[in-house]
Structure 1
Amino acid sequence: MLLLFYSRYFEDELVWCRRKCNQQIEPPELFSLSQMHAKSERALCLLRCKRDKFTENRPPLKRMNTYFDMVERKPYQYMHICYWKMGELDNAVKSAYTFLVKNPTDKDTLDGLAFYMEQKGYKDEMLVDALRRPYEDRFISGVKAYNEEDWNRCVDDLESSLEKTLEEDSRCRLLCEDKIDWSGVEGNPEIDVLMTSIQASVIRCQHNCLHRLALINGHDVGNLIAAHFEYLHFCYYKLMRGSEAARSVASYLLFDDNPLVRRNKYFYQNQYNKEELFTPHEV
């Protein structure tokens, strides 16, 4: 558990430094020597920040494979067996489930969880993702409120979830800045080839952030931003907040051309007769 805690600390400090240096160094508008200078200043800022954050008492992770194992939840693959041997069924179930949320096709852990579910004392309430993020909690709660027709809670939870999702996406993008795939770099490449390969690696990682965040409680909800608006527009409508319902439909259609949502837009157009209402949210 100490290693899991330290992995999280390592992530938090990296994000803090990268966000700080992004805000501290203002990029110039045009590519020039001033832009190269800005990049050099940001690099210097990052070096100083990491030096301040990672000390002898809290050194940086030296083996990145260890960090990647934490990201993939590898410790839980073994922890559930240890908990079972110790007679702690609830923690065994929780650990197995936590690993499967990130690795849903792992046969050994699936078999282990199926075994635990047959044991005396097992309860469905034990199926808890120990690493669930706040945006996931609010999204799950919002969908539950939608199904229970609790429209006020639906709006409160999903608005909060959307805000937290965007924060997580920003955090994920910052963590991508050292995710470089060196497999495309061969021999002694030209500097333009090298820089393009590095930038492409980071951009691919950042592009996949929302896709990774969309795995909620082991289920892929698809386009996570669109999913929020798909629920929100109906909850707004039920609360007679027509302008927000219209904006949510317009926002959804930026991501997905769903025929059902298009019919909802047509319904709102007839209901409110104001085309200017259909302006997407700024997120």
Structure 2
Amino acid sequence: MGPKSVDDLQFFEKMIRKTLCLLKCNKHNPKDGLHGLPKSVLKEFEDLKPYEYLQLCYYQKNLLQKAASAVFTYLVNNPDNKVMQENLKFYSELPEVDMSEVVNFEARNYVSLYIHGAEAYQHEDYKSVISYIEESLEDYLRAEDECRAYCEGPFDQGWFPDFVSSIANHFTYCLKCKRRCPDKLNSLNGEKHQDLLASHYHFLQYAYYKVGNLRKACEAVASYLMFYPADETMMNNKEYYFKLPKVEKDFFTPREEAVEYVQRQEYELRLLDFIENEFSFKDGSENAIDINETENKSSLTKVKDSIIMGTVSKSKLFPPPIIKF
């Protein structure tokens, strides 16, 4: 048996051991956890449908502040729902409801941490900015890992492929799901911020500069440029830092988590680009789907289009923009 065959076996051994781990984990969850629920029920949870009922229950119990928060939580995920918009307006006019205390029950920790960090930035409390934004960054990456893990659930292929095709088909289904995770997470209480992850490094580069940690500031600049390599503002900042007497070239080393994230993203997008241009595959129904018919641009092209092109102007340090909440 040659080295290549051993490598193949090691891959499948890893999958077998991972499966055993998942089976043991699922023994502690009814019906294999959420993956054991009917697809229609899962969809309702994903769409936050229970909050439609919760707000009514809270209202009936005269828990009006919670009712307003339940409506707001639903609207974060379903902003175009007219009925719930009217409900929120109704609650906002009640004297018992303080709209400044209305919260998103489903908000992840990184959302509040990010908001606190942005508020600390407005108050020029840069040590707090670093503390909040670093923690927010860590929690955001953890949330995306959890989202990606959930994508590896069961998949009804709707046909009976052979061994290799089955693996490729299921992997593609999971990969497309994983690529949707950033869009699900790039929301601050209903407001979409496509650069949310990268913007952490924008706050950090300025805050670290303000507390005198130039190496950390330069690392944050390099990390931001991993996401947007031609961003004019950050290129200007890099030039500004580079001219400081204590700054050395090796200061501009991107942080490990940024490198890993961008490399994974680029690889996945290249792979999806290949799949979308070369394959038709099953989406769980009995009909083959031609991705090129449903998407005008490949994923890789969209990312390229999102890069902000610009040239470096005069040396000046640019802080992150002030975000209003």
If the length of structure 1 is used for normalisation, what is the TM-score? 0.80
Matches of 1:99 and 1:137 in 2, distance apart?
18
Corresponding residue for residue 66 of structure 2: 91
State the Cα distance separating 1:143 from its structure 2 match.
Answer: 0.8
Whether the 8 Å CA contact 2:55–2:68 is kept in 1: the answer is: yes
Q: 1:146 to 1:268 in 2, by over 3 A?
A: same
Aligned to 1:175: 150
Write out aligned runs for 1:5-154 (5 A).
31-51=7-27, 53-54=28-29, 61-154=36-129
Q: What is the Cα deviation at residue 241 of structure 1?
A: 1.2
**1:110 shift after superposition:** 1.2
Letter in 1 for 2:186: A
Q: Given that residues 34 and 42 in structure 2 are in contact (C-alpha distance below 8 angstroms), is that contact kept between their aligned partners in structure 1?
A: no
Match of 1:199 in 2: 171
User: Quick check: 2:208–2:216 contact (8 Å CA) kept in 1?
Assistant: yes
User: Structure 2-normalised TM-score?
Assistant: 0.70
Contact 1:230–1:248 (CA<8 Å) still a contact in 2? Answer: yes
Change (3 A) 1:186 1:78: closer
2-structure distance, mates of 1:137, 1:160? 10
| Deviation string, structure 1 residues 82-119 (Cα, Å, up to 9, x no partner) | 32343332111110011111222222111211122122
Counterpart contact for 1:151–1:239, Cα < 8 Å: yes
| Residue from 239, 247, 261 that aligns with 1:266 | 239
Deviation (angstroms), 1:61: 4.3
Q: 2:198, 2:224 within 8 Å by CA — same for their partners in 1?
A: yes
Shift of the alpha carbon at 1:267?
Answer: 0.9
Structure 1 range deviating more: 58-67 or 126-135: 58-67
> Distance between the aligned counterparts of 1:48 and 1:86, measured in 2?
41
How many residues of Structure 1 are paired with residues of Structure 2 in the alignment?
251
Deviations along 1:238-261, whole A, 9 cap, x unmatched? 111111111101100111232111
Whether the aligned pair in 2 keeps the contact of 1:253 and 1:261 (CA below 8 Å) is yes
Cα distance in 1 for residues equivalent to 2:178 and 2:5: 22
1:133-160 C-alpha deviation (Å, 9 max, x unpaired): 2121211111111111111100000011
What is the CA distance between 1:162 and its match in structure 2? 0.9
Moved more, 83-92 or 111-120: 83-92
Larger deviation: 83-92 or 215-224? 83-92
Farther-moved stretch of structure 1 (125-134 vs 145-154): 125-134
Which one has a larger percent helix, Structure 1 or Structure 2?
1
| SS of residue in 1 equivalent to 2:243 | helix
Instruction: Indicate the SS of the match to 1:149.
Output: coil
> Structure 2: any 5+ residue segments left out of the alignment?
258-325
What is the letter of the counterpart of residue 86 of structure 1? K
Tell me by how many angstroms 1:126 deviates: 3.0
- Alpha-carbon separation, structure 1, partners of 2:96 and 2:30: 46
Q: Percent identity?
A: 27
Q: CA deviation at 1:29?
A: 10
Report the more deviating stretch, 185-194 or 101-110: 185-194
Structure 2: how far apart are the matches of 1:244 and 1:178? Answer: 39
Give 1:187 shift.
Answer: 4.3
Select the residue among 211, 217, 221 that pairs with 1:239: 211
CA deviation after TM superposition for structure 1 residue 50, in Å? 1.8
Name the structure 1 match of 2:253: 279
Q: Cα distance 1:30–1:214, how it changes in 2: closer, same or farther (>3 A)? A: farther
Aligned residue identity for 1:63: P
| 1:81 CA drift (Å) | 2.7
The Cα shift of 1:39 comes to 2.1
Which structure's relative contact order is higher, taking Cα pairs within 8 Å and 6+ residues apart? 2
Mark the CA change 1:232 to 1:68 in structure 2 (over 3 Å): closer, same or farther.
same
Mapped to 1, the partners of 2:35 and 2:168 lie a distance apart of 28
Q: CA deviation at 1:36?
A: 2.3
Between the aligned partners of 1:239 and 1:233, the Cα distance in structure 2 is: 10
Contact 1:179 1:202 in 2 (8 A): no
1:59–1:138 CA distance, 2 compared to 1 (3 A): closer
